[in-house]
Amino acid sequence: MEASGSNGSSIPPPAKRAKSSSRAPALDQFVRTVLLQTLLKRGDALLELSCGKGRDMGKFQRAFIGSYVGVEPNAEARAEAEETWRRKQAPFTAEFVDADPLDQVARPLRLPQGAAFDGVLCFGQLHQSFASEALATAFLKGVSAHLKDGGFFFGCMPDPAHVWNKAQKSILRQMGEMAKAGVKDEAAQLEGFQPSIANHVYKVALPDCEFSPFGCQWELTVGGGAPSAHYYVHYPTLLRLAAAEGLELVSAPNFVDFYEDYKAIFWHDIQKLGVASNER
């Protein structure tokens, strides 16, 4: 999930569902903790895109960063993030910028002149830039422009391979069922069909069976929550666009593999967060 390239950058890893809905938030917190503690060093400058309400201020403090810039278009969330920083009396400087990282086509991200960061962080937003090629390109260009040589671009996003593979299985089941019913034409078999994936943790629904590298939207519902819209990330396209901006992939595990890789080193955090109840 780190990536190093000509300017040492990195692209975020895909995420995979947790096996238990009650432990999914804890696993997410574990991943955030490990990323920050393994990719950042004492005194680093950190840029967070779509910082929201500043939920990770405590983690930044424990990673001993030296300075922080949070970018967030929502005024209420941005104000809460700043208040969290002040309340925790975090020992690093902080600045909060009114900008939308997902709207850099119309409004390129403007930070203090010469601002460069050891790490650029984006949890859960990179995939939203794949609404269009122009948006994805502008997003990655903005990341690269503010990243120091040898720095890391990291975060999490839904696992595109998991989503698409499950969707394809849903499509094949539909075609098989329609063929058994006597419908032989493939177009007729899939007419009006919406692929879906569901288990006790989440439900994913795609509007149709068509695929496009950009603008391919799907809907995610977790537990009893409201559905949220996301965009599928075509991984080869992501790597191509990232390489054009000097970003090179280092690692991209899903949540489960990431957990296995780091559980021994961060076992104290696993127990503290309630990620797992069983022994190592």
Question: How does residue 47 score in pLDDT terms, banded at 50, 70 and 90?
Answer: very high
Where are the extended beta strands (E) located within the chain?
14-15, 45-49, 67-71, 93-97, 117-123, 147-158, 196-198, 202-205, 217-222, 228-231
Q: Rounded CA gap, 25 and 31, in Å? A: 10
Residue 264 has pLDDT above 90, yes or no: no
Contact 149, 231 (CB under 8 A): no
Residue written as token pair 């969707």: 167
Residue type, 271: Q
Give 107-157 pLDDT, tens digit per residue.
778 787 668 999 999 987 889 999 999 999 999 999 999 999 999 999 888
List every span in the chain annotated with CATH 3.40.50.150: 14-157+233-273
- Split at pLDDT 50, 70, 90, the class of 258 is confident
Sign of the dihedral through C-alpha 16, 19, 25, 28: negative
Q: How far is CA 133 from CA 40, 101, 139, 218, in A?
A: 30, 15, 10, 17
How many residues make up the chain in this entry?
A: 280
Span 237-246, mean pLDDT?
95
Domain 14-157+233-273 falls under CATH 3.40.50.150: yes
pLDDT value at position 274? Answer: 65
* Strand boundaries in 50-130, DSSP class E: 67-71, 93-97, 117-123
pLDDT band (50, 70, 90) for residue 179: confident
DSSP assignment, residue 181?
T
Choice between 60 and 14, residue whose per-residue pLDDT is larger: 60
pTM equals 0.80
Angle at 67 between CA 245 and CA 34, to 5 degrees: 70
**What's the confidence (pLDDT) of residue 24?**
62
CA–chain centroid gap for 273, Å, is 20
Bridge partners (DSSP) of residue 123 are: 156
Three-state DSSP at 203 gives: strand
